[in-house]
Each structure stands twice: as structure tokens, then as C-alpha cells.
Copies of this chain bind each other. A is one copy, B any other.
Amino acid sequence: MERYTIGIDYGTESGRALLVRVSDGAEIATAVHEYQDGVIDKHLPGETRPLPPDWALQNPNDYLEVLKETIPSVLAESGVSSEQVIGLAIDFTACTMMPALADGTPLCNLPEFRANPHAWVKLWKHHAAQPHADRINATGRELGQSWLSRYGGKISSEWFFSKALQILEEAPEVYHKADRLIEAADWTIWQMTGVETRNACTAGYKAIYQDGDYPPREYFAALNPDFADVVDSKMSRELVDLGDKAGGLTEEAAGWTGLEPGTPVAVANVDAHVTFPATGHVESGTMVMIMGTSTCHMLVADELREVEGMCGVVMGGIVPGRYGYEAGQSGVGDIFAWFVDNGVPPEYHRQAEELGLSLHELLEREAAKQRPGEHGLLALDWFNGNRSVLVDVELSGLLVGMTLATKAPDIYRALLESTAYGTRIIIEACKESGLPVKKLIAAGGLPGRNPLLMQIYADVCNQEIDLIESEQGPALGAAMHAAVAAGVYADIEEAARHMGRLSDKVYKPIPENVAVYDELYRDYRFLHDLFGRSGASDPGGVMKRLRERRAGALKGSA
């Protein structure tokens, strides 16, 4: 009898189930369910009062609907019986967190809190806790907190304690009523198993769990006296390793899904991180780039090193027993999309339509006719700020070298290249810290569709780039963790060998391109350090001054 697991990938707009054969990772059936309330950023369901700017909420009931809709669907489609499904796992966006009672009831399900936005799930892209994040960072520096350097010196407004502190200070009644503040990922596992767990990945990357503990009580007290006991009163100090079993499916959850009660369920995981083993590789020195609107660079290594500008370094954050390094570029596909939407004249739109190509495809085709250096351009890829290694949202884009002969495909290619230089900066920072990238793998939405982009990355980084085979990397990664939780494989490394896979396509550096890009990269690094490392009062701090003046002008016209 063949055995199967199901991985469920909770995205921003929908959840997807993937039924996978345990023996070889074959993807048998998949189903998607869109969240009924989606991203709640205008007003609460049933309310008309507008939410403030930068808010982004979700309805936790939507997560359970995904289970009820997609799991029966993949069973029916595949003809696999419930007995053959030996394990379940989920991955989630993060930090996506919520307040709940001790029995797991979301506060937003209580009639008296239904109209209070702070009672709902705060989605990862809820950005209204920036003032709280600023204080978290400032207080961290003042008190000399050692964990700050693990996060590139900066905790994001998206992360757990920024959001928790916002709840306390803007809605103390919600904060005090909440027995739990918990990742939606862990809450969903709790609903499936009846067991409350906290996974090591979100705790480490989003909730400052480092070297076996959270920050000390005094630190939280310095933020706000009522915040002193946030960990012991609302969270848990017990973490569960990725791939460990959280519990068995409850009778109720079995009823929702058509699966057997007691089916092992793995502890929750995060979408980017769970993708890593789906490549088939978790060896020390492997870097996986999840390339989409932005890029997340994840490196697994046996050694703990200080690397400039990481988003986080977490023991067991990607693979149990190894350090997981996360870095990122805050704009990648977003920048190409910006250019396609804002910088391309009608003639290319018409031509793309005539040829039945997307504008991206047309520009890539034209740009691919050029040799490296031919367009005479160089760009800095900071249209959405810089995450790694500079950790500076005030930075912005730059383009140099334009002449009256410069055309749209020239600029498009320069933008592709700029993101490759940005990735090389991260790879070199790892290497300079003693963490050479021995294997480089690309995953996410961009690599499969953009051969020129991938060849440029191989040439710029002078490194072979493999591509993940699965188009459902997160869900496949979750299904692999389910196989480990079910005891089929001893650990995720063994599961990766059997169930993960690279595609046949390998991008190899072309020596003559490497030579040109080496020179261009030196110029990129000159501009990078000049504009990126100068303070607002240094001559090179042009970008910061431009942003200040923009803020001043916008305030003046308001």
C-alpha cells in the first residue's frame, strides 16, 4: 500500500493542499481555497468603520475552512483513501499572529471583541506597528541586547513583539483578555490537534528566541511595565523542532477533512523556510533563494557566524541541528514590475501584443540579444529599500549611464543585473564571515519563467545555479515534514533525499560574461558603499536627503 502525506501552504490570499507520495515525493493532487475575508485592510467584516492606514488583518476561521475544503478535494481527486494518508503538515506566512483564549478561541470570535480590530489576526504585512518596532530597536540598543546583531541590528515592524506591543498599547483590553498571543501557524496546528505548540522557526526568526531563550523580563519591562511578562503570561518557552509531531488529528478535525483521527500532524513551519528541503538539499553551505516580488536568501550551515545585515540567524530555524541564516532583497520582481508598468513606451506594448508575449517576455527577449556591458548602464536595486546587508528602508534606486540612445530593454536588463549584484553582495558577506555558499539553488516564482535572469545571476555570482523542480515548493516541503512527523524518515535530511528534487536545468557561468560582470560588480559595490553606507550628513548620503526632502514637501502640501 502506497503511503501519502498532505502539505498545506497558507498564503496571503488562499490556502493550498498538496497530496504527495511519501516514497518519492511525487505530487498526486492539489486544491486551492481562497479565504472568504481575504486580506482585511479596508474595514472589518460586517463593519463600515475604515481601518487606519498600514493595517492588514485576517479572519482565523478562514484557515479552518481551507482544511475543510481542500483536503476532501485532494482525496477525491486522487482516489487515495484516508488510511493511506499517514501525516499532515502546514506552512504559513509569518509573522502572522493573533490573540486567543486559553482554550484556543480567537478573541475576534467573542461577540464583545468582534468590532475591535486588535482582536483579529495581524497579517505579516500589517505595518502599523512601526513606532513600536522603533522603540524595540532603540531600547534593545540602549540595554545592549546581544540578540540585535542576529537580526542585522533591526527588528521589523512586521514581527511578533512589534505587533504584540501595539496591541498592549492601543487596545489594552484585548491584550489583557488574551491568554495567548500566538502565531496563526501554531494556532492552526492547535485547532487540528488540540495541542498547543510553538515552532522553532517563527520563534527564532520573528520572536527573538535566541540561544535558548527570549529576551529578559527587564527588557520587556523597559518597553512597557505591563509588557514585562509577555512571554510567561501569553506565550511559551517550550519550542518544538521542525518535523516533530505536534499531535494527532482530533475527532473534530478528522470530521472536517475526511482523514483518520490520530493522523500525525507536524509542528507548523514558515512558507519560505519549509521550501528549503523541497530542493532535496539541506547540507551545510547550501543557499536557497526564494525569488519573487522580493527575494529571501536562506543558508544552512553548521557554524554560527556574525554576518552583516541578516534578517535572522536561528538554530534549527530551517533544519533541526543547523543554523539557518535568512537574508533578503526587499525588491526584485517588484522592481521589474514597476518598470514594466511605469517605464515602457507604447511601441513595446503594441509589439508584445502582436507577438502574443507578455511585456516581460518581450523585454527579456530583446535584452537577451545584448552582451554584458553593451547597454552601458548600471543600477542600484533599492527601489523598495535595502534589507541585506544594509538594512535601510530609506535607500532608493539609482540608474547611471543613460544616453539619448538608451532604450527600454537596456534599462530592463540593467534592472535584472542590479538584483543579481545585490544577491552577490549577500553571498560575499556570507563568505567573508566564513560561510561559503557551496551550493546555490533558486526557487519561487521568478526562476522558471526568466531564463535570462537566471543566466545573469549565474554569471554575476560566478556560480552554478540549480532550480527546484516543484512548482509547489512550500506545500511539498510541508508534506515532507509530515513524513518525518509520521516517522517514515528519520529526519528532514533523509526526507529531502527521497522526496525533494532539483530540475534538470542548471545555469552555468559563462566565463567571458563572468569577466565583464566582475568589473561591473566592482562599480556596483562602489556605488553600494557610497550611497548605502553614508549617513544623511555625509556627502554620499544623497538618497537619505532626497527622502527627507520628499517627506518635507509632502508634509508641506498636506
Contact = CB atoms under 8 A, between A and B. Distances in A.
B397 A402 contact: yes
Nearest to A375: B550
Nearest to A374: B553
A328 to B, nearest CB: 16
A552 B539 CA distance: 33
A462 interface: no
Contacts of A378: 542, 546
Contact of A374 (B383, B397, B527, B554): B554
A543 B403 CA distance: 11
B552 A373 contact: yes
Contacts of A543: 400-401
A452 interface: no
Interface stretch (A63-71, A337-345, A482-490): A337-345
A377 interface: yes
B396 A556 contact: no
Given A373-B553, A553-B516, A557-B374, A331 B400 contact: no
B345 A342 contact: yes
Contacts of A516: 549, 553
Given A343-B345, A523-B542, A547 B383 contact: no
A540 B530 CA distance: 10
B553 A407 contact: no
Nearest to A344: B345
B400 A546 contact: yes
A349 B397 CA distance: 25
Interface in A321-344: 331, 334-335, 338, 341-344
B549 A526 contact: no
A32 interface: no
A549 B373 contact: yes
Name the residue among A373, A374, A530, A553 with the largest chain B CB count within 10 angstroms.
A373
Contacts of A351: none
B408 A402 contact: no
A86 interface: no
Given A376-B396, A402-B383, A404-B335, A523 B550 contact: no
A159 interface: no
State the number of copies, please: 2
A169 interface: no
Interface in A502-556: 516, 519-520, 523, 526-527, 530-531, 539-540, 542-543, 545-547, 549-550, 552-554, 556
A523 B349 CA distance: 36
A31 interface: no
A449 interface: no
B401 A396 contact: yes
Interface in A389-405: 396-404
A371 interface: yes
Contacts of A286: none
Given A396-B401, A396-B403, A554-B374, A526 B546 contact: no
Contacts of A374: 550, 553-554, 557
Nearest to A539: B526
Contacts of A372: 553
Contacts of A334: 404
A29 to B, nearest CB: 37
Contact of A384 (B349, B404, B547): B404
Contacts of A373: 546, 549-550, 552-553
Interface string A399-429: 1111110111000000000000000000000
Nearest to A548: B373
Contacts of A557: 371, 374
A408 B342 contact: yes
A358 interface: no
24 contacts: A335-B404, A338-B406, A341-B345, A342-B406, A342-B408, A344-B345, A346-B346, A373-B550, A373-B553, A374-B550, A374-B554, A374-B557, A377-B546, A383-B406, A396-B401, A396-B403, A401-B542, A401-B547, A519-B545, A523-B542, A523-B546, A526-B539, A526-B540, A526-B542
Interface of A: 331, 334-335, 338, 341-346, 349, 370-378, 383-384, 396-404, 406-408, 516, 519-520, 523, 526-527, 530-531, 539-540, 542-543, 545-547, 549-550, 552-554, 556-557
